[in-house]
Chain A
Amino acid sequence: MSQVLKLENVEKYYGNKTNVTKAVDNISFAVEKGEFVGIMGASGSGKTTLLNCISTVDKVTAGHIYVEDKDITSIKGRKLNQFRREELGFIFQDFNLLDTLTAYENIALPLSIQNIRAEEINSRVMEIAGKLDITEVMNKHSYEMSGGQKQRVAAARALVTNPKLVLADEPTGALDSKSSRYLLNSMKKLNEELNATILMVTHDAFTASYAGRVIFIKDGKIFNEIRKGSDTRKQFFDKIIEVVTMLGGDLNDAL
């Protein structure tokens, strides 16, 4: 299988000469096509910084990030926007839906800024909406939807462009447990059915257990990595908890 994402010795430093914070400290890993990878770490472990670097929102201090052999650390300006709009999909903790637009318009927006024909936009939006079970809220505004529906709309917006990589930042952070489970099942389904590659950042062990592989980060470094393999989700969850315990007190809130 081909590698969708490859990180080589990525470093991100903050601060000045006298006081340097290594938010990301020499991290390397790769994500295969169709993988569902979770990145776990406590607050301040550097996982969000890492995600920002991958999403080109932030720039790396050193190292390279490849998306399908393309070194995105060397892309600049308008090309960067183009890269983001064509290759990446985002799901955020607080949904980040545009409140003046309906669910349909939110999902259609990434397509219309790529100047795709109206008829095609319609078919693609309705297709992804069907997969995420949100066809009945298509004409609603975000204030008329539940948190779970909003996040599924956000997921649909991230996936509608068929991105090479979907980046999810604490997607269940603002959801109750029932909505969380529903969303994660949907994401898993999309991962399996559409072969979508998902990179999800979380500090929640339950959320992480839906992934196929979990990378643990502590103080900017990779601490451990475990794969689900043939385990059931429950077994995988237990394994994650073991690592979390090993990681120390910081992640205890993950339970």
Chain B
Amino acid sequence: MMLFKLAFRNIVKSIRDYMIYFATLVLGVAVFYVFNALDSQTVMLSISNDTREIINVILEAMSVVSVFVSFILGFLIVYASGFLMKRRKKEFGLYLLLGMGKGKVSGILLIETVYIGVLSLVAGLGLGVVASQGMSIVVANLFKADMTQFRFTVSGAAIAKTLIYFAVIFLVVIVFQTFMVGKNRLINLLNARKKAQKNYGKNPILCVVVFIIGAVLLGTAYYNVTVGFEDIFSLSDIGIEIIKGIVGTFAVFWSVSGFLIVVVKSNKKFYNKGLNCFTTKELSSRINTSVFAGGIISLLLFFTISILSCSVAVKNSMDKIIERKTPMDIQFTMSKPSAELTGETETKDIFYYFNEYQIDMNDFKDMTCVQVYNDSTSNMAKYTLENATDYFVSPDQMWIPIIHVSDYNKLANIYGIDTCKVESGEYALVSDNSQAAKLYSQALETGKTIEFNGNTYTPAYKKCVDGFIAMSNAENNMGVLVVADDADFSYVNFIDDFVVANYNTEDETKKASMEEYYGDFEFWEKLNPGDGEHACIDISTRIGLVNGALGMSVLLVFVGLYLGIIFLISSGAILSLKELSEAADSKDKYKILRKIGVDEKQINRSLLSQSGVFFGLPLFIAIIHSIFGIQTALLILEVFGREGLFVSIFVSACIILGIYGIYFAITYTCSKKIISE
């Protein structure tokens, strides 16, 4: 009973120390719940069947991300509790001195953890349930669902999941704490407050040199991923820039305090004014003792800003791509062996099987059929530069489909995209993927000739033509070779029958029911009975493609929000705990300042600039990273529109400044209280 009382009193007594810890736990639990309770939200209930499937994919992804998130939160909680324990070493030492066994001390800690855990879970779940109703509105917006039937929902499964995950985390915390108590010797506990002297003095010249190196590393990385992006061909190129960025960030954090001192000292007037000298030195010592944390936090904030900003921009861009790339309601593809391969004079085409499976052709209009030839020698490597061999997909293994110009123009006309003109003996390359198009254009520029089956072809255009054959929800046409109609490709082994059509109705409900039939797996099974009679007939519908992409982009937004908020909480909590403990350690310094006769106002100003810079520096570096990082990310993700970007940056700035700002405000208020004791 005594232990319970003691544990409870301890929490109440050090409520200020625990406030940040507690707030972080509550936020962590709430976010965890919200993203695991997506399925039970009102809006999900009114969403169509197709979208439901996507939502299941999203939920699955969320549960995978949740595992990652639980690791981050686990580390954070263990770190924070360890941090709080360090502050109480003397108290534990006193318990031991009074004859309390280590088991009992662990017992106190266990009870405390249980108290805090239960409390934060209850508060966090409460907050999460409320927040998840708000999330419904966001989801409804993203899926364009109607929200007329709003209902307050609670997900039992998500609550259970949250409880289990956090129970495990708290268990780890308890084990960790017991271990900490067990390994410490009494004398160390009692003397814990007498900190070992830190070495504050870094060689200023070294600092300036390291700072410049860091700045140059970052600068060149920034340059290479934006202005020099044209020269980036492979993932490893980007990887080098990322490594440069990481090393540069840590170098800057390692040296910035020393650099700061050199800069400030050079301005004698500023340095010798009021508490400036004290503030600078305190700040630099604080930054010096948190180089690693500062670097990590900077990078986390960078990810957060980039993910949040990009996810919405990508979603907007995807919407645009889809509009262009899904001009028809449905497409069928069947790869049929050529007469050359089978030796038969007549091959069965796709319409033969449509007839055989009794498909009602009156359901379709605008039906267009073209032939696509697959020549195994038409690999991409023929058109790419030699230094592009480590490009994302090996160009040797990628066949470029071949199509006659009249067939291509037939499609282009019905799609409403540019047609092309190819004379006899000429060829054109068509792609809508900017990376591939770039490589093709480089080859076409040189007038590259190609050879098939003994015939030589020359480029009809000096540039790659923007276009596509197959509908898709991404700009993934890696290249199509367009040749004049007199070019004979009947020698190839496989010829694809490619058919596109619209549903033969204007009525939306009828269209929906047709979509339900033709877009369903059952229909696919009907066309593909699996008897080996013919090659697989692929079906894609516009709705299916749209939904797939919608799922992708919504998933991106969710993952962005989820990880972003967790990263933010983690960063805020770590900075906050560091700052508060520093304030507690510096209490005596402020006492000295007061005795010397420094005004309270000056002291508060000094404290504000210390906390401000301590919180602001990682954010500042992260923002600079993001300015370049976002651009690169959008280049990689092939997002060219910038319309949505401003809004998404604004929204993410609000989220970041909101959460980060709350941590800063709490920290500043608390440390002000600590030092004025």
Contact = CB atoms under 8 A, between A and B. Distances in A.
B596 A101 contact: no
Interface stretch (A5-13, A59-67, A82-90, A227-235): A82-90
Interface in A69-87: 78, 81-86
Interface string B562-598: 0000000000000000000000000011011011111
7 contacts: A57-B595, A81-B599, A101-B277, A105-B281, A110-B597, A112-B273, A118-B272
Contact of A118 (B269, B588, B589, B592): B269
Interface of A: 55, 57, 78, 81-86, 88, 90, 96, 98-101, 105, 108-113, 115-118, 121, 141, 143, 157
Contacts of B281: 98, 100-101, 105
Contact of A108 (B272, B282, B284, B591): B272
B595 to A, nearest CB: 5
B357 interface: no
A108 B268 CA distance: 12
Contacts of A82: 597
Interface string B357-388: 00000000000000000000000000000000
B592 A113 contact: no
Nearest to A95: B592
Interface in B252-307: 268-269, 271-278, 281-282, 284-285
A167 B333 CA distance: 96
B14 interface: no
Please name the 3 residue pairs, one residue from A and one from B, whose CB atoms are nearest each other, closest first. Answer: A85-B597, A84-B597, A143-B197
Contacts of A143: 197-198
Contacts of A111: 272
A39 to B, nearest CB: 18
B269 A85 contact: no
B595 A109 contact: no
A108 B596 CA distance: 12
A111 B272 CA distance: 8
B596 A121 contact: no
B285 to A, nearest CB: 5
A100 B591 CA distance: 15
B278 A83 contact: no
Nearest to B280: A100
A118 B270 CA distance: 9
B200 interface: yes
Contacts, number: 79
Interface residues of B, number: 30
B272 A121 contact: yes
B664 to A, nearest CB: 22
A90 B597 CA distance: 10
Contact of A96 (B200, B273, B592): B592
Contacts of B589: 98-100
Contacts of A90: 595-596
B529 interface: no
Q: Is the interface of B mostly helix, strand, loop or mixed?
A: helix
Nearest to A100: B281
B614 to A, nearest CB: 14
Q: Is the interface of A mostly helix, strand, loop or mixed?
A: helix
B278 A109 contact: yes
Contact of B275 (A84, A86, A113, A116): A113
A139 B275 CA distance: 18
A113 B285 contact: no
Given A105-B281, A118-B269, A141 B597 contact: no
A78 B275 CA distance: 16
A100 B282 contact: yes
Contacts of B595: 55, 57, 84, 90, 96
B343 interface: no
Contact of B272 (A81, A85, A112): A112
B201 interface: yes
Contacts of B602: 113
A100 B276 CA distance: 13
A227 to B, nearest CB: 30
B272 A83 contact: no
Given A105-B277, A112-B276, A113-B596, 5 more contacts: A100-B589, A101-B281, A112-B272, A113-B275, A113-B602
Nearest to A157: B596
Contacts of A55: 595
Contacts of B276: 112
A78 B603 CA distance: 13
Nearest to A78: B599
A190 to B, nearest CB: 18
Contacts of A96: 588, 591-592, 595
B587 to A, nearest CB: 12
Nearest to A88: B597
A101 to B, nearest CB: 5
A100 B596 contact: no
Contacts of B271: 118
Contacts of B594: 81
A108 B277 contact: yes
Contacts of A84: 595-597
Contacts of B588: 96
Contact of A101 (B269, B278, B591, B600): B278
Which among B268, B274, B588, B592 has the highest number of chain A CB atoms within 10 Å?
Answer: B592
A118 B597 contact: no
Interface in B598-646: 598-600, 602
Given A100-B200, A100-B281, A100-B285, A109 B273 contact: no
Contact of B268 (A81, A110, A118, A157): A118
A141 B201 CA distance: 8
B269 to A, nearest CB: 6
A96 B590 CA distance: 10
Contacts of A81: 594, 597-600
B596 A141 contact: no
B598 A113 contact: yes
Contacts of A88: 597
B272 A86 contact: no
Given A100-B200, A100-B285, A83 B277 contact: no
